[in-house]
Structure 1
């Protein structure tokens, strides 16, 4: 795909049609700061057209059976899979992640997850729940689609997270308007282009715009019945305020700063690779990545050495290069955040085991960085870095580590690493987070509910619990006399 052709083929998807705009904005390749494409910039009027189309399409789409909607979504998965190479290349160009990447966790991983999530979620179904059936009455709980769902997605997993929002909404009978991040809109626009020839008109609409305007208009619009958002806590709070006037349903997966606790009996040789992979998955740009590592003093030095050895074996570079393990950060703003957190750690006397200095300025590159001799209170520990730098904090007593893990306002994920599973589970149960892993981290799957607590948001994704987020309850009571 040449750059000129790429620039010509992107358009909004409204009511099953490709819609041009009078204004555009640049999408930047973070590996070399070149322009990947000119992205259509929607007006609020075009958003309103999409909302009208989605509302008009809702009655017919929601009236279909699960089997009928499932057939369309499975067809969509097949069409996406047929374009796998194009999607992976575009994903690398706009987001930066390598095609393969460290531990096969690059663009191929995101595409594979996308296909798995479509097919798994589309296979699910919410059946009526009978709570009484006797000679007096039959009482059942039915689940009904909400209407028009607005999806606002981030830039770290643009294709996969779009699917996490769209597919449960669609299979339960809702229609969708999705606004991807202005940093990474291209794979979502390409997905919409494929979907418009498979789904009925108006069922899925893709509207792209610059930061703020379109998202704000969506969250306040009276004819959007639900917003599902993945992103920062401040933006989530702003969405709640905008949604209040229409009592809009919300699912918010917000910021995290996941803690991992490595107990004294952990098998360091066995877990070091997993800890490294789950801390630096997607170059650390993962909501539920391991971001604070608390390590018992008896195994601290051994783990630091093991992680440093792994770091020395990987390559950071352009994601289109076949031997690249980690790509750039997605944007300059995020790079600046990582650099500022590293500088604060240096000023506090932290020890940099590796990395910590930009050596490639052709793109938004930052090397894999490990930092120890650091404590709670440092910005690198207390703030979500969302990049390839991991603070390692030594502890003596597990109660100390639990208190440290729980002291922040966020609560997305957490983990405990130990050979004593029962003890690990006991510690894990005391962590204040929506998901906790034993001897792993950041691993999600389509049938296991996932969501945050505290300032990490509310509502869940995945599984039957995730489907229910896109429905309302209607209790039907039938009396027999």
Structure 2
């Protein structure tokens, strides 16, 4: 276990250009991040290429054992990692936030290590025997976001390493310290050069996407950036896994119990203060229970404390950066100006330090309003009335994204019927955004392609090879 100060010191740059990272709750410095260059990236890729063959040769069992040791290392430094994450990203220590995220890192490492992947016999008829195997890709480039910087990095890194690849990680410019610290801890149990974080700007990300030494790119972030990566990767025909924007819909059926579902709805929408790709961002509620759902959800939201993440009482934090604060403020103001009813929030304190935007619920809003049609990625939830299930499904499916969705009902059979009609990669019943390392996860439409987690996630980090004969 490293102390918090020792962990910061271990990742502190000793040469080259640096950038001061500020706490989004206070505006105070958290630490200095290196500003790596394209040349640093080239060196990291070269080191990864050198380390990868020996790692691949170890086999699944030895690689899995190393990942289990890496999970132990994360747990030994869990509190220090959580504190750094809270200070840099803004999320509170408690609730489904910083400590939860660090715990998920260990859980996903163990899941990647423990998921079996056996050769598959596809034909064995006495004349032909064909087996499907997976071999390593080589070097994987992992480009992560600022909302769940540690957890999503592990989502990318753990299966890539398990499958025998080396990995070069490019963290978000907003949250590089968290990822650098996580990689520092993981490297306590990994061979030198196998896993490297390169904390650079857009030019580093662009070079990673086009680099001939990279066999696959894994990216979580905006749809616009995902499209740019597709174009950059085309000349080298890279494999891609893209988890892009969501704007997830939830449909509350008329038989639902408003009080019973209120807390689930709240955390589906407001986990990580709404800064989650697969969060609930559009809520469709039947006329018959609309007012009751609004009242119960408002009651839950009003009781959730927001503030500095290092305060143990808080469960909601600031937006991570001022740009995202501006997006949320613009969309809520547009909704108010259109005549929508603000049930709660919508009134940030201009004198409060940090990027705090209060938990906001907006009722009686048109489905075409920008707060509904655009992904707000923050603590503001529009609640839209509907009269028929057909109408609700049509509105839920109207956008060009489809990462996740949810159906809320007292009748699971009816909920599954509605879920089958929704165009999304995952549709949850009476919950939203509940990812599981055993269950494949990926988007539909412009929310990306490729699967993560479980056996399918491991396969996505390998090259299929058929042995026929």
TM normalised by structure 2 equals 0.97
SS in 1 for 2:312: coil
1:182 to 173, 189, 208: 173
Equivalence for 1:336 = 326
Equivalence for 1:89 = 83
Q: Distance in 1 between matches of 2:196 and 2:459?
A: 22
The answer as to 2:134 corresponding to 1:143 is yes
The 1:21–1:430 alpha-carbon spacing in structure 2 relative to 1, beyond 3 Å, is farther
Q: In the TM superposition, what is the alpha-carbon distance from 1:196 to its structure 2 partner?
A: 2.6
The answer as to 2:349 corresponding to 1:361 is no
The answer as to 2:16 corresponding to 1:26 is no
SS in 1 for 2:71: helix
1:258 to 230, 233, 248: 248
Structure 1 unaligned runs (5+)? Answer: 13-19
Equivalence for 1:448 = 439
Mapping of residues 81-120 of structure 1, within 5 Å: 81-100=75-94, 104-120=95-111
Would you say the 8 A contact 1:414–1:436 is kept in 2? yes
Equivalence for 2:400 = 409
1:171 to 162, 165, 174: 162
Q: In the TM superposition, what is the alpha-carbon distance from 1:134 to its structure 2 partner?
A: 4.9
Aligned length: 467
1:74 to 49, 68, 85: 68
Q: Distance in 1 between matches of 2:198 and 2:364?
A: 47
1:452-477 deviation digits (Å, cap 9, x = unpaired): 01110000110101111111111111
Q: Distance in 1 between matches of 2:92 and 2:374?
A: 26
The 1:2–1:57 alpha-carbon spacing in structure 2 relative to 1, beyond 3 Å, is closer
1:101-149 deviation digits (Å, cap 9, x = unpaired): xxx2121111111111111111113211112335434321111111100
Equivalence for 1:17 = none
Structure 2 unaligned runs (5+)? Answer: none
Would you say the 8 A contact 1:3–1:37 is kept in 2? no
TM normalised by structure 1 equals 0.95
Q: In the TM superposition, what is the alpha-carbon distance from 1:180 to its structure 2 partner?
A: 0.9
2:52 to 40, 53, 58: 58
Q: Distance in 1 between matches of 2:100 and 2:4?
A: 25
1:352-371 deviation digits (Å, cap 9, x = unpaired): 00100112530000000000
Q: In the TM superposition, what is the alpha-carbon distance from 1:9 to its structure 2 partner?
A: 3.1
Mapping of residues 201-220 of structure 1, within 5 Å: 201-210=192-201, 212-220=202-210
RMSD of aligned Cα (Å): 1.5
Equivalence for 1:243 = 233
Equivalence for 1:352 = 342
SS in 2 for 1:280: helix
Equivalence for 2:263 = 273
The 1:374–1:134 alpha-carbon spacing in structure 2 relative to 1, beyond 3 Å, is closer
Equivalence for 1:191 = 182
Would you say the 8 A contact 1:274–1:440 is kept in 2? yes
Q: In the TM superposition, what is the alpha-carbon distance from 1:269 to its structure 2 partner?
A: 1.5
Would you say the 8 A contact 1:435–1:452 is kept in 2? yes
Q: Distance in 1 between matches of 2:401 and 2:235?
A: 27
Deviates more, 1:406-415 or 1:131-140: 131-140
SS in 1 for 2:41: helix
Q: Distance in 2 between matches of 1:72 and 1:330?
A: 33
Would you say the 8 A contact 1:27–1:182 is kept in 2? no
Would you say the 8 A contact 1:292–1:390 is kept in 2? yes
Q: Distance in 2 between matches of 1:282 and 1:311?
A: 14
Equivalence for 2:10 = 9
Q: Distance in 1 between matches of 2:187 and 2:377?
A: 34
